[in-house]
Each structure stands twice: as C-alpha cells, then as structure tokens.
Structure 1
Amino acid sequence: MTGREAEELMMGAGAVTRGTEKAVGTTKAEGEGQPVGIEKLIEAVRGGRADDVPALLEGLGAAERSTAVAKLKSLRTEVRGWETKRPREAADAQRALYVAGAGCHAGASAAATWLGGRDLVPWRSEGCGPALRAVSDRSPEWLADVAGRLAARPAVAEHSYELIRGMVERSGCAVPATDGYVLGWAWQFRAGSRWRRSFEGPELLERLREDPQTPVLVLHALSMAESPDQLTWTVTEAPHAHWPTAVATLVGEGLLDRAEVLGAAVSRLLRGGRPRDLRFPMEVLRLVEPTAEEFRERIPDLVGMTADTPSPIAGYAQEVLAGLAADGALPTAMLSEMTSAVLFRTEKKLLRAQLTLVGKALARDPGAAAELLPAVAEVFGNEDTELQGRALKLVGRHLAAVDASVRRELAGQAGLLSPQHRQAATELFGEVLEVGAGVPYEEILPPVPEPQRVEPPAATVEELVEDMLTKGVSDDPVRFERALDGLVRHAHRDRAEVTRAVREAFTTKSWQEPHHFTYDFRGLHAVLAGLLGLLEPSWIEDRRAREPESTACFHEVLTGIVHARLWEAAALIGTDALPFLLASPTVSTGGIDPQVLVERLRAYRDAGVEPAPADLAQALLRVLRTGPDIERVEEEASALGTVAGRRLAAWLRTDEPPAATVRFLAREEDRTLERWYVHQRVVVELADRAVVREEFPPAFRWLGGTLETAPRRCYHWISAEGHWTSILPSDREVLAALIVPSLARAGGTQDTTGPLTGLAEAEGRVGPAVALALALGMGYGDADDRLRAVDALLVLASRGDLDARQVGEELGWLVTEGVVKPNRLADATRTAAATGAYATVWAVLGAALPGLLSAAPPVRGLGEVLAVAADCVERCGARGELPGLAGVASAKGSSQLVVQAKRLLAALG
C-alpha cells in the first residue's frame, strides 16, 4: 500500500483532520508505540518480500527511516541464525534487508557499509533493481559517494556491479575504474542481466560498441593484475566471445584510443605475472599490430619484457627487437642491455636466439664488439656446455675488434667455463687462464644441521592463546607440540581460566558437531572441544581406542597416531590424569632427550599419576636411544620402580627398534591391475615386534607388524603429513618406508616432499627405504619439491649417512620405469652439483647411468643427464669406466646424447 492510498483510506474513515500527520509512517499501531509504516516494512523484510520494500519506504520520513535502521540491524543478526536450518528463508530475508538498508541509511558511508556486508551482498547483482528504486530520491552527490565506496571494494564491486552502475548513471559521476567493477562488468557481458541477449556471432563487439563505459573499462582491464576469466578465453574456446579480437576492432574503428591501448598492454606485460593473466594484453598487442615507429617508441619497455616476463612474452619482445635491430633501429646500448637480460635467463631457445642476434649485429657493425662481447661472456657460466661453446666461438670471432682491457675482462669471465672448453679458451686468451690452475678439488657440502632446543611452553594463558591463534600452528610440528603441551599444563592448573580465554578467542560453533573432526586433521581444535565439553565423552573414547584396519594405507595409520594423542588429550585435559605431556619433544627434530623423559616419569611417579597410554607410547617412539650416557639413563629409568620406568629402560636397551623393508611388485606378480602406478606396487613389510603389539595402545600396534603385507591403494586426501617425521624421529628407515607410498602416489603434485627434510635430520638407520624416498623426491614435477629432496640428499651427505650408490640405483630404475623423467633428474642433480657437491652428485649418477645407458629403446632425454654427469666429472676429477658409455659414445650423429656421451667418456679417461 502506498502512502497516498493509506492517507485516502484514513481520511475516508475520519481518522485524520486538518493539521494531523498525513504519512502512514507516522500513524501509530493500535496499542503500540511503533509507527505502522515501520512495522509493515519490518514485516515485509522478515517475509523476504524485497520487491515490496521500495514502495513501503516511500511513506517514511527521515526520522522514521533512522528508527527503522536499528530494527533492521537487529533483524539482520537474527537472520544470520537461520542460515543452517532455513537457508532459503534466510536468503530471501537478506535480499530484503539489502534493499531496506539502502533506503534507510542517510549517510553515504553507513549505506555503503550496509550494502557491502558479506552476508547481504547479492550474487552477481541479484536484488540491485529494488535497491536502486529504494535510493531513487537521493542526491547525485550521495549516489556518487556510495558508488565510489562500493567500487573500491573488489569482492563487493564484482557482485554489486548493477547497483553501482545505476548509481553512476543517475549521478553522472566518473566511471569507477576498479578491479571489482571491471569483473562485474565483464560478467554482465557473459551472463546478461540488463544486457540479456543470445550469445551468437558478433554480439560481444556490438555490445562493447553500445556501452559508453567501454573506453575506460577496457583500459583498466588491460592493466589488471588478474585478468577476468572471460578475457582470457582463446579463439578456439569461444570465437564469438574473443575479447582481444573485439578490442582490436574497436581500436581500428577509433572507438578506443590506439596509443592508450598499446601503452596499457605493454605496461601490463612489463610487470609480468602468471601466463594466464598476461594472455589478454598479449593477444591485444598482437592483434593491434603496432607499427615499427610505435615499437621504436617503446624499446626500453620491450627490453624490460625480455628480462623478467614469462617465456612466451619474452620471446615476442625478442622477435620485435630483432626486427628493429635488422632495420638498424636498435641502439647498441639497448642491444647490450637486452643481451645481458636474456642471457641471464634459463630458457635455451631464448639464449640461442640471442646469441644469433648478437652475431648478426656484430657482422653488420664490428665496432660494437667492445660493448656486446662482455654481455655474451655471461654465458660462460651457464650450466649448458653447448651454449658455453657457442658463446666462446662468438667471442673468438670478434675478439680482434676489442682492446686489451676488454680482452682481460673476457678472459676473467672465461674462468667460469666448463673444463670441456678450457683448452679452447686457453688457446684464445693465452696464459691468463692459467691463474688458479692446479688447485685441488674440494667438495663443498652444507654444514651438518644441529637440532635446536624446543622452547618451553607459554608461561601465561594470554601467551598460550596467542600461540594457538598463530597462523599455521597446527602444520608446524614443533609449534604444535609446544602449544599442545602449554594447553595441557595451563588447563591442569586452572581449567576455568583457560576455558574462559578459549571461549573469548575462538569461534566454537562448528566444534559441537562430531563430523567436524571426522574427515580431516583439526589440530588443537579437537582438544579445545574436549576442554569445553562440546563433544560426547563416548564419541571421544571411541576415537581414542580405535585400531586401524589391517588394510589401511600408511598415511592413515601415521595420522592415526596423531589423532589418538589428540583424542586422549581431549578426554583427559583439565584433570589430574594429565598434568603435562610426556611426549613433548625437546629438540626440533621431534626427539626427546632420554634424561628429560626420565625426569618427567619421576614427576608422574611423585604425583601418583599413571601415564596416559598414547602419550607414553609416543614418548618411547621419540626418545633418542644413542649417546655417551645412555647406560646411566637406563639405570635411572629402572630405578624409578614404575611400569613406565621399566618400559623406558627396556626400550633404551633394545637392539631391535621398529624395522621395515620396501620392495616393489614385479609386473608379472599381479596382472589384475589394468594400469601400473608405482604406488600400487609398493610393498612395505614391518618387522614382527611382540612388545609393540602387546604393550602399546591400539593406534600404535600396527608398528608391531599387524598390517597386511600388500600394496596400498590409497584413496584418501593426505593430511597431517607435516607431523609424520616427528612420530618416528629415531627410526628414519621405518619412517622412510612408510612415506614411500605417499611419495610414489603423489609424484606429480606439489608440496608432498616436506617429510624428506625431517627425514634427513632425524636419527636412526639409513637403508634402501631412505634411498628410494630421496630418489622419488628428486623426480617430482614441482621444482620446489625437487629442491627439498636435493636439500635432504646434501644434508645426509654432510652427515656421512648418504648411500649414494643406492640412491643412484633407485633413480636408474625409476627413470627406466618412466616414473622419473630424465629432465627432472637432470634438474635435481644439476641443482645439487651447483652447490659444489660435484663428487657426491657423480657418485649418484655413476650408479644410475649403467642401467639407463643399456636400456632399449634408449631413454629419451638422457643426454641432459649425461651433460650434468660430464660436468661433475670434469670438475671433481673422477676417473674410471662406466658400463655402456663407450657404446653410446661410438654412435654416429650429433645428438645431445652422443655428444655428451663422448664428453663424459673423455672426462673419465
């Protein structure tokens, strides 16, 4: 009902006389002090009738709207509670709240805050029509202010595009060129709304022509750090919606300023970023087809693009600059700067093209040699010896054109050349290269890492809460264990204070549902839920006592140990049964000083407390069993006179720690698998340990040999892997065997080799399982994962624990099986060698290569591995024979395989 209709009704009934208030909003509800108009507004909002709200607002004055704001805020809080049980009603009410708040807030700042609320922002502008009607009476200045505030918030602007656009058009203000607004604008072209049409033929181009905001927003879209999805589609994916083609057409028609478009595209490419985000400006630049004059104006930007942008962008800029150089339009100084930039990159195609470009430039202008050859000499230190040779020949052809000072500079750079090119360099530069000759080779390995002492837990509840709220605390085993021990200690001292602090600091609503903790590792939250009494004790006890099935995958059972400790702590926290944790590590590797564990058990005995089973079991697995005083510690443990003390003493004395072996099923052993993945063929055999099966709690008994000896076909998401190494910090061969299936399973994914770092720094026997784990890590697809494996390899070498031959043999097998690609092996070993560990890397490759050289058919890409091996041999001076090498080296042809085989054969001889 409109305000006019209500007034007429009231006048007809004799409800009003001259001088009375005319608006419905000022009429009191019978028996109430609230105006009827406000009540009807709130009723409509509560019922989710957003389309009715603008009409109801018409009858409310400024004072009534201000009064309504408080009620809307209260209702908004109430509606948030509907989301889980009444989601549809909540969505309708929130849409109506969105509209009502737009019309009731008088200030632009308050209105923008309301319209930008995360619970109210509509999905892709739904509900903006009624909201625009609700603010139709506002001034242009108010509309412009609100539009600007909303456009400045990316997520809000994207989903409120239609509202912002309506305000911009009604106010006449400038188009808000922001990322969020452009995202919403681009979405409208895809989805329709006020522009709804069929998506056929040249529609995108036509609609861009019609839109007066196109010139401003296209320029901003070209400059965005993350391009909207629609703008990155290729012609193949959506030829009718190819934005670069449309933009280029509009540039040709003059609707878009050519110089501005070119400047925006080049500027964005110069900043670099993900290839996906550079696709739009790159395609626009290609299709606009800048003239030679336009390129000459942007030579510094093009040179910058060759330095830091992704390979396709750098290649494009290189081609353009090569064309300018051929026309004599590229100054020598800029060519020199470009050459230094490109030759610093790693892409061989770009490096070869740049050497060719410099060669042509010197052929045209020999006088440029003094400026260009020092840049070419940067290649002397490149890892690719073939490129080194090309650069050396180029320098040799033009060396006569430079003076003595440049010659000395080039000779100094020649010291970086591989030994393969030293003779040619000596003939070129003379005795100057002899400086430093005869210096014996010295292997460089990283310093042996010393375990760091773990800091004691937080001293106050405030510090404890701060530790628990720190981002990533559950992912870092050291910080996690420190926080967990601190939580247990403080809860034992004053449970009420810790409970109060936790309720204030954490959002605990989801903890009341057991399924929240069922499928994933939740870290400290499980213990906090137990502290607050949010979970049924029977449910906690069931999880605490659960024993893994005999067919469980290894990452399940490893994570199961972590879970068992958490649920045990959740059941006992804040009681006298758990004053502190026995299993809290004392060193960063996860190990426990045996003397410290004895003191902890003594404190338990003196307090009359029996150790919690999972806590004691984890403490035994973590205790360090080596050291000069280990016999004395055994005696002290026995002297405690407790069951736990005797168990510790026996554990320290045992010569049979948990043990495991790893083998692979041969293909013929199981023909039921249609496709052979390495992780499906890994078999881990755990030693039979009666003491573990009989004395340890259920979650640990599998370490005594209760799991079936069979391949593990894992279908679970891997979780809590950061904690695996701290479970068995004194038994790294067992730990390696257990993580091998996960390493084999996830060979192409990222962030999976993290446990290798802890494995290298842990204690205990090193055997074939450690070797296989390293080999798998060195073959990962992600460079960061390979780097972690390389670090682990070098740490083991520095500790004297690396069996290089065994790692090499495993790598040879994995490459032959197709699990590890030769280019990844070459990258990993090259990275390791570059640290100065040439002899170590050669020891690995020397064991891997015999099987690879004899493989039939030849391993594709093996030449790159041979190049790394040859470089290592040349630098460390190794000598000897390599089975199969002579046969490959004697083959005809100039492939990299043959060339590098000959080089390696010569170096070994």
Structure 2
Amino acid sequence: MDHWDEIRNLIEKRHADRLAEQVKGLDDEARREAAARLPELLKELRGRFERWDDGLVGYAAVLRVAGAAVFGGAAAVASWLYRREFAPQWAGPDNDVDLVLAVLADRPAGWRADLAERLVLRMRAFDDRGMALALALLRETGVEPPPHDPLVAGWAGRDPSRLGSDPLLDHLLPRLFEAEGVGRVLQWERDPDGGWLGALLDLADEGRVRREALIDGCVRRFLLGGTALDLRFFVRLHEELDPSPAETAPRARDYLSLLAASPGPVAEPAARCLRACEGLSADELAEAWEALLFRSERKLVRAGLSWLDRSVRRAPALADAAAVPLARAFTADSFELQEKAVELAVAHASGMGEEGRAAVREAIELLPSRLGHRAAAAFAGGTVAEAEPAFVPPPLPAAPERARRVEPPIESVEELSRSTVEGARSWQSWERLLAGFVTLAGRDRAGVAAVLRPRLSEMLKHPWTDGRYRQEAWERIAEWFWGAVHALTTTAPAEEAWRRFMPTTTRTAPHLFLLHRAAEILRAVEEDTLPPLLLATPTHDTGHVAAAELVRRLEVIEAAGAKPLAADLQQALLRLPRTPDPEAAERAARLTSPAGRMLAAWTCPEAAIELEWRCGDQGGDKGGDHDWHSRDHHHSVSLVPAVTVAPTGLPLVDLLLGVPRHWGEVHHRDWWSSMLPSHREVTAAYLMPHVLRRFWDETLVGPGQARELARAEGPAGAAFAVVLARVLGDPNMPESVDVLLEVAARDELPADEIGRQSGLLVAGGEVRMIDMIAALDAAARRGAHAHLWRIAAAALPVLLPAPGERPRNGLAGFVALAAVTAEWCGARGEIPVVRDMAARRGSSGLLREVRRLHDLLTGGGGTGGAGGADGTPGTDGTDGTGDMADMAGTVGAVREG
C-alpha cells in the first residue's frame, strides 16, 4: 500500500492521531501527491451527504491534520484549515490543535510565523475557531502579533492562570486597553481574587506589570469612550487599583476631560479621584464642578454640589470660581437639586465677585418662582420667572350607568339550535342558552329533541368530546348542558347522570354552586320535571334579576302548578338588587307557594369580610402592617379572608356567602361576580387566592374583575380594595384608573382601605412604587384628588420607614404626590408618622418631602425650609412648603423613571 492509500485509509477511519504520525515521515514527493489528491477526496466525502447534512464535520480533524501536513504554502494551509465545512460555528472549540502543531513542527520558523500572521488576520471575533491555533503558533514562534483587535479579545477570553509566564503578555497587554471587544469579553469579571481582574492585580503586586501602566491603560480606555458595558471591566480594575492622590495628579487633565460626557460609572470614579487630589487650581475645580453639575445623573450632580460646598467652606476664596457651576445647576431637572444649588449660592454669595454674582443673576430666570425670588433677594437682582398657574383639578367625571338590560332568554327553537352551533362564549350567553333550553324543552320536548339531535351527533364526531362524557366528573357547564341534551334525546351516557358526574372532591364554592344549578337542570330533564322557566336568569349585565321580573316568573310557575328548581331559586334570591321594590314586594306577598313565601320574606343578608395577610414561613399565625417591613419576599405571601354572616337556612346560599377556606380549580371565574351582584365584597374575597398570582405575563385578576366589582352592589372593604390596588399597581392595566374614578363618582370608594392595601402591596414587593404613583397621580389629575389624598394618607403609615430602616425606592415621589393632593383638596391635620419622620435629622430628598407635607398639613414653617445637614430649620424666611407645581414636577419625574 503506497503512502496515499495509507493516508486515505486513515482519513476514512478518522484516526487523526495515527494520521499525524504517518504524515511526519513523508518525503516531498509524497507530500505533493497527497496535496494534489486531498481536494478530490474532500469532494468525494462531501458527496456522501446531503447539502443540509453536517456529516462531514466528523472528518474535520483528520482532514485538517492531513492538509496542515501536506500543503506547501502557508496561505494554502491557512485556507484549508478553516474551510467552512470543517468548522461550523456551533461545533465548539477545535480539539485537534495539538495534532496540527505536531505536524507543523518541522516547518521553518519563518513559515510558521507567516502562517500565524495569516491565521490572526482571518479572525473576525474573539471566539473564532482558529483562535487557539493562532495563539499557540504566536507563542511558539515568538513573533510580534499583528495589530488585530479580535486577537486581543480572543486572548482576553482565555484562562489567565499562567498570565505571568505568557510570551504574549508584553505584546498584548498594552492593546488590552485599546482593542475593540475586550470590554464585552471581560464584562462579567468582578472577583479581585480570580480571573483577569485578580491576575492583573497580582502581576502588579509582583512587579511583573507596572501599576502605572495599568492605571494609564484604564484612563486611556476611558478616553477612547464606549458604553458602560464596554467599560465595566476597566472601571472595576481602576477601582481595585484605587489610585492615590500622587498617582492622580499627573493624570488630572485626563480625569477632568472624563467628567462631562463619559458614562456615569466612569465619571463617578474620575470625580472621586479628583476630589482627593489637593493640587487642583481654581480654574480646574471650576471646570470639574461645571461638568458634574450639568450632567443628567442626579447622583453625580449631588456629588458635585457636595464637593463644591466642602471646597468653598475650606477655602472661601473659591466662591467666585463656584458661581458659574452653581448657575449651571439652576437648570437641573429636579426641584430638590435646584433648591440645593440655590441654598449653596445664597450661602456663598458674600465671597463672590461681581462677575460671579452677575453669572448667578443671569441664571435666576431658569428657576421656579419661589426659588427665583429667594435667589434674587440674595443677589440683589435677576429676572424671576412668573409662577406657573396652579393646576386646578377637574371635577370627577360622571359614573357610567351601573347596570344595563340584557337580551331576554332565547325564545325560539331555531335560535336555540343556532346558539349551540355558534357556542356560548360568556356567562351572559350561557345564561340565555340555559334559560331558553329549559323553557323550550318544557314547552315542546319532542320538538327541541328533534332539532338538537343532529347538533349532538356533530359534536360527538370529535373523539375528545365523546371522551368527556365518559370521565368521572363534569367540571364545566358545557358538559352538563350537552348531558341534558343527551337525556332529552334519550341518548344519555348513564342513568342518573346528574348524580354520577357531580364532582366529589372539594371545589370552590361559586364553582360548586354553578355545577348544582346545571345538575338540577339535567335531573329535571331526566325526570321530565322541567319548570316553565328559570328564575335566576339575569335581567341586567351585572347579574341582577329585577325584583318585579322575579315575582312575575314565580307567578308563571305557580300558575303552571310547577315547582322551581332549588339551586335556581337560591341563585335568584342572591341576584336581587339591594334596593327594595315596594310594588314587587306587595305582589310577592300574594304568592302562595313555599318559594313565593320565601321570596316575600327575603332580606339581603349582610356579610362582613376581614382580610389577613400571611407570609408562608409564619405558618399562618399572624400578619399585619409591621411584619411587611422585615418580610422576605422570597417567602410565599397569601391573603386569607374571614367572613361573618348570619345563616339563612338555604344550604347553597350559606355555602356561597360563607367563603369556605378551600380553593379548587379556577373554572368559570368570569361568572362569579354575576352570582353575587349584591355582595361585591364576598366576590372579591373569592378572588384573594388569585389576586397575587402571575403566570408569565398573564395575571388571573385584572381590570375586568375590578370593573365588575365596581358595578356590583354592597359594601366595599378590604378585599375589594386589594383587587383595585393590585390592578392600579400594574403598568399594563392603565384602564384600572377608570375603574377607580367610576367607584369614586358613586361615592363608594373605600379610600382608606385602598391606601392601606396599596402600602402593603408595595411593601411586600407585589407592585412597584413607581407604577402605583403613576396610577394614583393620573386619577388625581382627573378629579379624584380628594380620594387620592385619603389613599395616600392611609398608605404613609405602612410605607414610611422606621428609624434606621432603609426607605423604599421612589418613596420621596409618593410623599410628593401626597403633598400635591393634600394641597389640591385643602387637607389639614397632623399625621403622627409624618410628624415623627419630619423631626428626624438629615437632609435627604425623602426627608425634605416629608417636612414639606408636614408643614402643609399643620400650617407650620419649622421644618420645610432649606434645612442644614442636620435637619435644622432654614433661615430664609419662607414657609418651607414649596410650590405645588414643583412637587408635581417631582411626581412626574418619578413616573417617567
């Protein structure tokens, strides 16, 4: 067997290691022959697979080893090694680098250096397939790598555990701070004791790499620019190096140039280094302050103001240099920052020269009216902007009609047949269908059976449908309806189906009630005892049955000598409006049947609901406002209602009003509100196990349920408040504001409960503060400002932090909203938690807003002015409440994120 046959045989068998040994001994003639025949073999192998098949990848290693060994030119080898069919991107890193290096070992050093450079210049990304081989050849040959960014990024993507002995370190380390893509490769490096971050710090400590070179490299990379993501690794390296003032001083000009436009994570350490540097001139300080105070990030503006204030206090001669930067800060988008800038300008005005004072006067017109007057008084001049006219909230929009008449029950066999084909897609259409079926089947059983028999046959053509009538329990109304059709057409799947298919395990009470209503219709069909009509079919879209209509229906049943269905009667009683109808009551008194007497004596039962928040790790022992401040949201949270109601003696009514503490599958949840249209709080209580649940981007309780509760009757308490607060706090449910306005317009809004429950939802992490603020602010601006003040006042005791506790994000915006609504509705009266927090030491934005609110409610001016760092009163003579328009601006800024 000649040399080529042996090579071909090894390629066919894919023995890459044996092939590497075989080709090492080839002479020049054998190499040339193999080089000529190798492309033919590749074409033959490729022909064995379909175009879409990647089967050739299995031969990649042996083909690459063979080509590296037999092709003569470096260009030919580079092209062969990384043919697309050998190296699809998904195939993972090369596993034949050592074999390729072995067959290249006898090539001249210059040839291998040429190949290394060609491989490098082919790289397009840090994870290109040839990266490992290119780096290995560069290390072997010792040649200086060509300047190519993907190579540097690929080098950075390798294990740095032996970085100190890497021959490429001295060549590539300077480029690490310049090459595009390195920052994204190293963006997740954060451990100073491991990875590249730790390796570079260790090399600096050992003296293998100069510390100055790393600092210069970071600063150079910052100056080149880039996104915060690109610069993240270099920011962390710079932070770990923590340049001393002596190391900062020579680079001060570079740090100064970073303050104005670099990403915030870069500008922040640059400002910190400069602040520690003692040798900056007045002009350099002014440049730094002006750059920081003109930025959009409030954190950097605050840092700039603090640096300016401390510097001028230590060296009053710097006051003139601070004038222009402070004037710049008058344009800040935050009232708090504008106020702080005015406070500092007034405090240091005496040290400013005429040129500095003129610069401040020119900027006064950029300030809100109150701050402008204060600055103009201190600087003896300047144009003060006119105060914006106070926002006058509109009156509440009129509430829409609570209930509308619904279509009457189906009245013809043809419409009944058509409805079974089209399908019932809502509780209203199901109620019409059931009512029409009962009336028509009772009137003409044979005729209805003849019409529905073909519909039943069509439905049973689907195997899944027929299978549902062989299962153990029927959970849905459709199953019971078609079971009744089965019985009507004498094709029932079982005798006494109404008994056999009733679920035996626990179900949610509304679901069980509904199944009983459906089951008794099926039973009446089986026993041929259908009444002339159903009593509980709603007359209004809320689910209510008009009292006069219910009396009429009972009169029809009595006249026919029939009996109403038991569950149907109990549902009808629960659907009566809460407002008595004297004329209907007089007619009901003349009824003689037991059902008629029951209707005449019926009074709407009152159910009192209490709601308890429970955390899963507390075993259900207790809940309450205070627990939320220390509760870990990773623990499960539940809302547990408890009901108090006097028994009526009607089993299904008592079951439904009792809100049993067990929960089943959520079937027919859209029916619930219509089953209890005069007991909205009971319906809301049934929603409590679902109000906090979310599945991906779907919520089980939304504005639809809230609107149904809004249009129902009965007291509105904690359970309804939770539902409304939950949907208000969801940014994907803006229509929830309309629901709040509708309830407020009817004067049925439980504002205090909504405030308390909103606070608990925010405190528990169920909704975001920013989303709750946005919804409440929108409602206040549409006329519900008085109600919103009550909501905010009730939420504050839950949301304001205890001493030593960290406040929640966005809380200052919520307090600002409270102040706005309090001003609009003229609220007065001290709130103890607000009073106590206003008295705390500090000058944070939250404390400023709390002091403004406290002063507004009490008519005082002791804590709301430009207080000192310790929270002491200001001395500017203002009342400290601030303009309501300014506060509204703060709320808007929070809402916009």
TM-score of the pair, normalised by structure 2: 0.51
Instruction: Report how far residue 733 of structure 1 moved.
Output: 1.9
Q: What is the DSSP-based 3-state SS (H/G/I as helix, E as strand, rest coil) of the residue aligned with 1:854?
A: helix
Please show how residues 557-576 of structure 1 align to structure 2 within 5 Å. none
Kindly indicate whether residue 81 of structure 2 is the aligned counterpart of residue 128 of structure 1: no
Kept in 2: contact 1:102–1:131 (CA 8 A): yes
Aligned residue for 1:903? Answer: 852
Look up the match of 2:168.
213
Q: Which residue of 1 aligns with 2:144?
A: 174
1:301 corresponds in structure 2 to 254
Equivalent residues in 2 for 1:382-397 (5 A)? 382=332, 386-397=336-347
Match of 2:291 among 330, 340, 345: 340
- Partner of 2:824, secondary structure, is coil
Counterpart Cα distance in 1 of 2:158 and 2:367: 58
The CA distance in 1 between the partners of 2:337 and 2:251, in whole Å, is 30
Q: 1:869 to 1:711 in 2, by over 3 A?
A: closer
Partner of 1:14: none
Q: Look up the match of 1:281.
A: 234
Q: How many angstroms apart in 2 are the aligned matches of 1:311 and 1:857?
A: 30
In 2, are the aligned partners of 1:808 and 1:847 still within 8 Å (CA)? yes
**Structure-2 residue corresponding to 1:144:** 116
Q: CA separation of 1:545/1:49 partners in 2, compared to 1, >3 Å: closer, same or farther? A: farther
Q: Tell me the secondary structure at the aligned position of residue 348 of structure 2.
A: helix
Match of 1:889 among 835, 856, 866: 835
CA contact (8 A) 2:330 2:367 kept: yes
Change (3 A) 1:867 1:770: closer
- Report what 2:500 is aligned to: none
Distance 2:691 2:766 in 1: 26
Q: 1:546 to 1:881 in 2, by over 3 A?
A: farther
Match of 2:888 in 1: none
Measured at CA, do residues 842 and 870 of structure 1 come closer, stay the same or move farther in structure 2, by a change above 3 Å?
A: farther
Q: Could you tell me which amino acid in structure 2 is paired with residue 677 of structure 1?
A: S
Pair 1:95 & 2:61 matched = yes
Task: Report how far residue 347 of structure 1 moved.
Answer: 4.6
Give 1:822-901 correspondences, 5 Å limit: 825=769, 829=773, 846-855=789-798, 858=801, 861=807, 865-866=811-812, 869-870=815-816, 873=819, 878-881=824-827, 885=831, 888-889=834-835, 892-895=839-842, 899-901=848-850
Name the aligned partner's letter for residue 163 of structure 1.
Answer: L
For residues 433-448 of structure 1, the aligned pairs below 5 Å read 434-437=384-387, 439-441=389-391
Q: How many residues align?
A: 579
Corresponding residue for residue 554 of structure 2 = none
1:677 aligns with 2:644: no
User: Contact 1:140/1:171 (CA < 8 Å) preserved in 2?
Assistant: yes
Asked if the contact 1:269/1:313 (under 8 Å) is kept, the reply is yes
Q: Is structure 2 residue 273 aligned with structure 1 residue 320?
A: yes
RMSD: 5.8
- Structure 1 counterpart of 2:797, which letter? S
Q: Which amino acid aligns with 1:880?
A: G
Could you say if the C-alpha distance between residues 689 and 304 of structure 1 is closer, same or farther in structure 2, counting changes exceeding 3 Å?
A: same
Distance 2:331 2:610 in 1: 41
Alpha-carbon spacing, 1:733–1:74, altered in 2? closer, same or farther (3 Å): farther
Paired with 2:43 and 2:472, the residues of 1 have a C-alpha distance of: 56
Q: Is the 8 A contact 2:124 2:150 kept in 1?
A: yes
Percent sequence identity is 17
- Distance in 2 (alpha carbons) for counterparts of 1:544 and 1:102: 66
- 1:321 positional shift: 0.8
| Mapped partners of 1:545, 1:399: distance in 2 | 89
- Give the SS at the match of 1:268: helix
Structure 2, unaligned stretches of length 5 or more? 395-461, 474-574, 576-608, 622-633, 642-662, 675-682, 710-719, 860-897
2:252–2:274 Cα contact (<8 Å) kept: yes
Matched-pair contact (CA < 8 Å) for 1:266–1:301 = yes
Report the equivalent of 1:611. Answer: none
Distance 1:283 1:673 in 2: 45
Q: CA deviation at 1:95?
A: 3.2
**Deviation, structure 1 residue 131:** 1.7
2:183 match: secondary structure: coil
Aligned CA distance change for structure 1 residues 546 and 171 (closer, same or farther; 3 Å)? farther
The reply to whether residue 156 of structure 1 matches residue 123 of structure 2 is no
Using the alignment, how far apart are the partners of 2:266 and 2:379 within structure 1? Answer: 37
Which residue pairs with 2:757 in the alignment? 813
Aligned to 1:733: 704
> Match for residue 486 of structure 1?
none
CA contact (8 A) 1:370 1:401 kept: yes
- Structure 2 counterparts to residues 233-252 of structure 1, below 5 A: 233-235=190-192, 238=194, 242-249=198-205
Question: Do the aligned partners of 1:886 and 1:905 also contact (CA within 8 Å) in 2?
Answer: no
Alpha carbons of structure 1 residues 403 and 858: separation in structure 2 relative to 1, 3 Å: closer
Name the residue aligned to 2:429.
Answer: none
Q: Distance in 1 between matches of 2:779 and 2:372?
A: 19
How far is the alpha carbon of 1:322 from its aligned partner? 1.4
For residue 666 of structure 1, give the secondary structure of its aligned residue in structure 2: strand
Opposite residue 12 of structure 2, the aligned amino acid is E
5+ unaligned residues in a row in structure 1: which ranges? 1-5, 7-22, 26-35, 191-203, 445-540, 552-655, 657-662, 693-704, 739-765, 778-787
Matched, 1:261 2:228: no
The CA deviation at 1:846 is 2.5
Q: CA separation of 1:74/1:343 partners in 2, compared to 1, >3 Å: closer, same or farther?
A: farther
Shift in alpha-carbon separation, 1:220–1:291, aligned structure 2, 3 A: same
Q: Quick check: 1:772 aligned with 2:726? A: yes
Partner of 1:110: 79
Name the CA distance, whole Å, in 2 between partners of 1:905 and 1:713.
34
Kept in 2, the 8 Å contact 1:44–1:53? The answer is: no
Larger Rg: 2
| 1:332 alignment partner AA | D
State the AA in 1 paired with 2:726: L
Q: 1:822 to 1:405 in 2, by over 3 A?
A: farther
SS of 1:299's equivalent?
helix
Deviation at 1:903, TM superposition (A): 0.8
CA apart distance, 1:396: 1.0
Q: Deviations over 1:57-93 (max 9, x none)?
A: 8464345424322433553685799999xxxx98764
State which of 302, 309, 327 in structure 2 corresponds to 1:377: 327
State the Cα deviation string for residues 261-288 of structure 1 (Å, max 9, x = none).
3332113345677878656434544565
Is this contact kept in 2: 1:102–1:115, CA < 8 A? no
Q: CA offset at residue 848 of structure 1? A: 3.7
Describe the SS at the equivalent of 1:226.
Answer: helix
Tell me by how many angstroms 1:24 deviates.
Answer: 2.7
State the secondary structure of the residue aligned to 2:297. Answer: coil
Report deviation, 1:391. Answer: 1.9
CA, structure 1 residues 256+902, in 2 after alignment: closer, same or farther (shift >3 Å)? closer
Higher share of residues assigned helix: 1
Q: Secondary structure at the match of 1:110?
A: helix
Query: Which position in structure 2 is the counterpart of 1:502?
Result: none
User: Is 2:360 the partner of 1:410?
Assistant: yes
Deviation at 1:419, TM superposition (A): 6.7
Shift of 1:144: 3.1
* Correspondence for 1:718: 696
Amino acid at match of 1:43: E
- Contact 1:379–1:388 under 8 Å retained in 2: yes
Aligned to 2:546: none
Deviations 1:818-858 (A, max 9, x none): 5466995269748997x999788977863442223334985
Task: Please list, as runs of the form range in 1=range in 2, the aligned pairs for 1:380-529 lying within 5 A after superposition.
Answer: 380=330, 382=332, 386-400=336-350, 402=352, 407=357, 410-411=360-361, 413-414=363-364, 417=367, 421=371, 424-425=374-375, 427-429=377-379, 432=382, 434-437=384-387, 439-441=389-391
Post-superposition shift, 1:394?
1.4
CA contact (8 A) 1:343 1:376 kept: no
Say if 1:334 and 1:904 are closer, same or farther in 2 by CA, change over 3 A.
Answer: same
Corresponding residue for 1:479?
Answer: none
